[in-house]
């Protein structure tokens, strides 16, 4: 038996054993009683992954998603963003408060997710990249995914070498594109890479986007806002924020906020970091968000939010569990253990992820790898 399989078995056994305990929530508190707000992030709700998302780990089937909503509405108290912002020191939120969020504005969130949220009485926050509304262009992640699935990694490697000129290590997977190549690009280099990739693959991204209809239309976005769903900022074109300065920062963050507010008629008061990593929360970005009047910033590092958590650092879990017991372990136990790990074994509670993570013993959780939005920020699990 491989070490990986043994670890997976241990994880499932621990999850199943704890879930069967009558006092499972009380037992979980032994790992951190200060865990107040829980938050989860979903992306695309689809019966089958398409070539644009297959391998990105952003897909949940409608059945899986509905099962998770049932679980959350039964065992937790769904709250609105306004409830979180009004909370003082973690004392006014209801017991086991849970905030449901969505990143990337796939069309499925309006067609499938939102009606199910209404059915189960679950509020939600939708973080939107306005640059892809209306399906006039493909998001970079989806273009790379499509090329990798349909043509392999060769066109991607040729485009990377063409843009960087210097020798770039051969990329063997989409993970390496999102965790290594994209963070190294400036916004101009990333745009050049996407243009070269389309040429190498002999693709028309605009035509593909129009045919695939992956993303929300402007009308669907306005409808979501009219039904009292919160709309948040996710940058204009889903870019790593660590590389944004000056005009680029204003365009990607400030411009996206203005466009979303014009489309919805509602203030945008929350921001979700693309790829979810604290590495991307630069001083320049924080200054911009505070000056612009934002009230909350969301990460995706799967760490427990402490009772007096800063609203400018609210963490979320990207759930991948297939059963109630592993879902419980994923959102109730592992975030507490990661918080303990960060507190006692890392130099900072804001731990850079991916290649910059502090070295700790790894327990790879089956089915909890996250999503394309988490490759760069993935904390090595405790």
d(CA 24, CA 242): 40
- The answer on 348 and 228 residing in a single domain is yes
pLDDT, residue 77, reads: 97
Q: Per-residue confidence at 207, pLDDT binned at 50, 70, 90?
A: very high
- The answer on 158 and 113 residing in a single domain is no
- The answer on 358 and 233 residing in a single domain is yes
**Structure tokens that stand for 319 in this block:** 């759930």
pLDDT, residue 364, reads: 33
- The answer on 236 and 196 residing in a single domain is no
Q: 161, 179, 210 — which closes off a domain?
A: 210
- Of all residues in the chain, the percent with pLDDT exceeding 90 is 74
pLDDT at 348 over 80: no
pLDDT at 362 over 70: no
Range of the domain at 189: 140-210
Segment among 10-24, 278-292, 358-372 with least mean pLDDT: 358-372
Per the DSSP assignment, residues forming a β-bridge with 232 are 127
- When the pLDDT of each residue in the chain is averaged and rounded to a whole number, the result is 88
d(CA 379, CA 382): 9
Is residue 379 assigned to a domain?
no
Please report which residue ranges of 250-333 form alpha helices under DSSP H: 255-264, 283-291, 324-328
Q: Of 113-122, 307-316, 358-367, where does the model show the most confidence?
A: 113-122
If one counts the domains in the chain, the total is 2
Q: 191, 210, 229 — which closes off a domain?
A: 210
Q: Per-residue confidence at 359, pLDDT binned at 50, 70, 90?
A: very low
- The answer on 247 and 112 residing in a single domain is yes
Q: Of 57-71, 162-176, 354-368, where does the model show the most confidence?
A: 57-71
- The answer on 109 and 75 residing in a single domain is yes
Q: What is the pLDDT of residues 92-123, one digit of tens each?
A: 899 999 999 999 999 999 999 999 999 999 99
Q: What is the pLDDT of residues 260-297, one digit of tens each?
A: 999 999 999 999 999 999 999 999 999 999 999 999 99
pLDDT, residue 168, reads: 75
- The answer on 123 and 21 residing in a single domain is yes
Q: 183, 210, 237 — which closes off a domain?
A: 210
Is residue 380 assigned to a domain?
no
Quick one: how far is CA 208 from the chain centroid? 24
CATH number for the domain that contains residue 21? 3.20.20.370
- The answer on 204 and 156 residing in a single domain is yes
Please report which residue ranges of 57-153 form alpha helices under DSSP H: 62-75, 81-86, 108, 114-119, 140-151
Helix (H) or strand (E) holding 18: helix 3-19
- The answer on 66 and 9 residing in a single domain is yes
Give φ, ψ of 314 to 5 degrees: -105, 125
pLDDT, residue 12, reads: 85
Mean pLDDT of 9-17: 86
Is residue 18 assigned to a domain?
yes
Would you say the pTM of this structure is higher than 0.75?
yes
CA distances from 217 to 130, 164, 264, 329 (A): 10, 35, 12, 36
Is residue 318 assigned to a domain?
yes
pLDDT, residue 355, reads: 28
pLDDT at 257 over 80: yes
- The answer on 223 and 78 residing in a single domain is yes
Asked if residues 105 and 133 have their Cβ atoms less than 8 Å apart, the reply is: yes
Is residue 382 assigned to a domain?
no
Is residue 342 assigned to a domain?
yes
pLDDT, residue 164, reads: 79
pLDDT, residue 367, reads: 34
d(CA 276, CA 11): 24
pLDDT, residue 361, reads: 29
- The answer on 241 and 124 residing in a single domain is yes
- The answer on 172 and 117 residing in a single domain is no
Is residue 121 assigned to a domain?
yes
pLDDT, residue 346, reads: 65
Q: Of 23-32, 91-100, 157-166, 216-225, where does the model show the most confidence?
A: 216-225
Q: Per-residue confidence at 306, pLDDT binned at 50, 70, 90?
A: confident
């Amino acid at each position: 038996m491989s070490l990986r399989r043994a670890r997976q078995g241990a994880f499932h056994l621990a999850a199943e054993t704890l879930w069967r305990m009558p006092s499972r929530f009380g037992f979980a508190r032994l790992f951190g009683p200060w865990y107040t707000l829980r938050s989860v992030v979903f992306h695309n709700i689809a019966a089958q992954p398409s070539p644009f998302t297959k391998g990105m780990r952003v897909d949940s089937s409608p059945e899986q998603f509905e099962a998770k909503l049932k679980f959350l509405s039964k065992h937790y108290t769904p709250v609105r963003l306004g409830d979180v912002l009004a909370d003082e020191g973690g004392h006014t939120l209801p017991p086991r408060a849970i905030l449901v969020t969505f990143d990337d504005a796939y069309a499925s969130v309006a067609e499938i997710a939102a009606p199910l949220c209404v059915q189960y009485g679950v509020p939600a926050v939708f973080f939107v990249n306005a640059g892809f509304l209306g399906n006039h262009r493909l998001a970079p992640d989806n273009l790379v995914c499509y090329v990798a699935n349909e043509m392999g990694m060769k066109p991607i490697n040729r485009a990377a070498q063409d843009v960087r000129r210097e020798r770039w290590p051969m990329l063997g997977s989409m993970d390496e594109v999102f965790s290594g190549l994209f963070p190294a690009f400036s916004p101009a280099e990333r745009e050049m890479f996407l243009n070269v990739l389309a040429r190498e693959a002999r693709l028309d991204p605009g035509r593909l986007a129009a045919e695939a209809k992956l993303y929300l239309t402007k009308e669907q976005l306005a409808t979501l806002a009219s039904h009292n769903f919160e709309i948040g900022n996710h940058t204009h074109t889903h870019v790593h924020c660590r590389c944004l300065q000056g005009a680029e920062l204003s365009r990607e963050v400030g411009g996206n906020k203005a466009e979303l507010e014009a489309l919805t008629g509602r203030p945008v008061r929350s921001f979700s970091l693309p790829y979810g990593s604290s590495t991307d929360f630069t001083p320049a970005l924080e200054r911009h968000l505070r000056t612009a009047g934002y009230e909350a910033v969301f990460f995706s590092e799967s760490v427990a939010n402490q009772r007096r958590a800063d609203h400018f650092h609210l963490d979320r879990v990207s759930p991948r569990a297939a059963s109630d017991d592993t879902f419980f372990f994923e959102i109730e136990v592992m975030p507490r253990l990661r918080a303990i790990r960060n507190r006692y074994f890392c130099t900072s509670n804001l731990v850079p992820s991916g290649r910059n993570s502090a070295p700790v013993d790894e327990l790879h959780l089956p089915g909890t790898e996250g999503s394309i939005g988490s490759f760069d920020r993935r904390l090595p699990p405790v």
